[in-house]
Amino acid sequence: MWLISLFSAVGLATAFDLVLRTIADKTDSHAFDSCAINSVINCATTAHSRYAYFWGVPVALYGLLFFEAALVIGIVLLCGYRCSRWQLWGISLLTVAGVLFSYRLLFYSYFGIGALCPYCLVMDFSITVVLIAWFVYIKKAYPRVPQAQPTPK
């Protein structure tokens, strides 16, 4: 569970910085200049694209909320909490949905915009580690009990 907590914290810090840059970009056009390495590795290009917002909300804010929830879940699990079956399903669905959304944005970023944001790549990596760590946790903490076979007569 420490992997979930650690990479959720990394993703949370990255998403928080990206949200602050998005807010600062409203008044300062140079808010994303520090991560503009070249024409391909460039936050400004992705931040000013139509994919930077989903339903009118900055995508980084969705990442912030996801990683905040994942960090809380990781800490609670580190404290010894055991999830019920519906909680396992809910957290699994949330994590898979987050990864699919993140990969969708990565696909649009590279193939649609032609640029990659380093912050987004850190969040993509973090969410992938969270997904893998979550399913490893489920496998270890909730092993399948073999079904009893009826005895032949």
> Residue 94 — φ and ψ, nearest 5°?
-60, -45
Extents of the domains making up the chain: 2-141
Inter-residue contact 43 to 36 (CB < 8 Å): yes
Give phi and psi for 65, each to the nearest 5: -65, -40
Thinking of the domain 2-141, which architecture would CATH place it in? Up-down Bundle (1.20)
**Per-residue pLDDT reduced to its tens digit, 92-135:** 999 999 999 999 999 999 998 888 888 899 999 999 999 999 99
Query: Rounded to two decimals, what is the model's pTM?
Result: 0.84
Q: Evaluate whether 17 touches 93 at the Cβ level (below 8 Å).
A: no
Write the single-letter amino acid at 59.
V
Q: Rounding to the nearest 10 degrees, give the CA dihedral for residues 10, 58, 100, 141.
A: 40
